[in-house]
């Protein structure tokens, strides 16, 4: 990775400077850890405050340990749906991204719930705030409360308005269980498992 950064060039042919390479390495090294650490901290804090949800997470883990024994790997961790929903809910309440910016690649229009229409031209930049979007009361029932069950089958509030209702890490098909994979791979939830 380091060599790729050193050898990289901008579209105009200019090489990356040493300080730019350093910045890219620092961003690559710390960005994921920062997100994972903060998400694990918020998830743990909410679970400690909400004994019912903590109990559900621990019961799920006991069940899976009973089923698989000492074989706890990614496949077993990916079966922890209650834990995943708890992580997703902590991310909804405390998204790591302040703003999401996207360049518009083709003209489109947006119609609000009130019927007002806006034309968004190609080349413009569209900005949204996940912290604001994740608390919209017409999407999330009681949006200020920690409720991992809002993502369970039958409720799925994160899909209430559209496929892009949940914006903690962006939107679309890439933002699925990969957050849980990152947290599981980095053993951020090991304290919950060790409680057993």
Task: For 35-64, write each residue's pLDDT tens digit.
Answer: 777 888 899 999 999 999 999 999 998 999
27 vs 42, higher pLDDT: 42
Distance in angstroms (rounded) separating the CA atoms of residues 127 and 117: 17
* Total-model pTM: 0.74
Question: Quick one: average pLDDT of 64-77?
Answer: 86
Residue reference for tokens 């698989």: 68
| Domain residue ranges of the chain, discontinuous segments joined by + | 26-96+132-194
Q: Could you tell me how far CA 159 lies from the centroid of its own chain?
A: 15
72 vs 59, higher pLDDT: 59
Distance in angstroms (rounded) separating the CA atoms of residues 63 and 17: 53
What pLDDT is attached to residue 191? Answer: 43
pLDDT tens digit string along 112-158?
Answer: 889 999 999 999 999 989 999 999 999 999 999 999 999 999 999 98
Distance in angstroms (rounded) separating the CA atoms of residues 137 and 85: 19
User: Is the pLDDT at 192 greater than 50, yes or no?
Assistant: no
């Amino acid at each position: 990775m380091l060599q790729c950064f050193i050898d990289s060039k901008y579209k105009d042919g200019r090489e990356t400077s040493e300080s730019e390479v350093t910045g890219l390495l620092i961003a690559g090294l710390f960005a994921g850890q920062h997100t994972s650490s903060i998400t694990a901290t918020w998830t743990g804090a909410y679970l400690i405050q909400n004994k019912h949800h903590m109990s559900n997470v621990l019961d799920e883990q006991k069940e899976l340990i009973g089923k698989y024994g000492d074989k706890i790997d990614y496949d077993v961790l990916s079966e922890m749906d209650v834990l995943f929903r708890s992580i997703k809910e902590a991310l909804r309440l405390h998204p790591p991204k302040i703003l999401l910016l996207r360049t518009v690649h083709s003209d489109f229009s947006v119609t609000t719930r009130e019927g007002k229409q806006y034309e968004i031209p190609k080349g413009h930049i569209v900005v949204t705030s996940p912290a604001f979007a994740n608390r919209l009361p017409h999407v999330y029932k009681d949006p200020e409360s920690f409720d991992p069950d809002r993502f369970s089958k039958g409720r799925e509030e994160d899909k209430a308005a559209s496929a892009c209702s949940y914006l903690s890490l962006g939107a679309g098909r890439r933002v699925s269980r990969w957050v849980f994979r990152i947290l599981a791979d980095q053993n951020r939830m090991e304290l919950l498992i060790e409680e057993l």
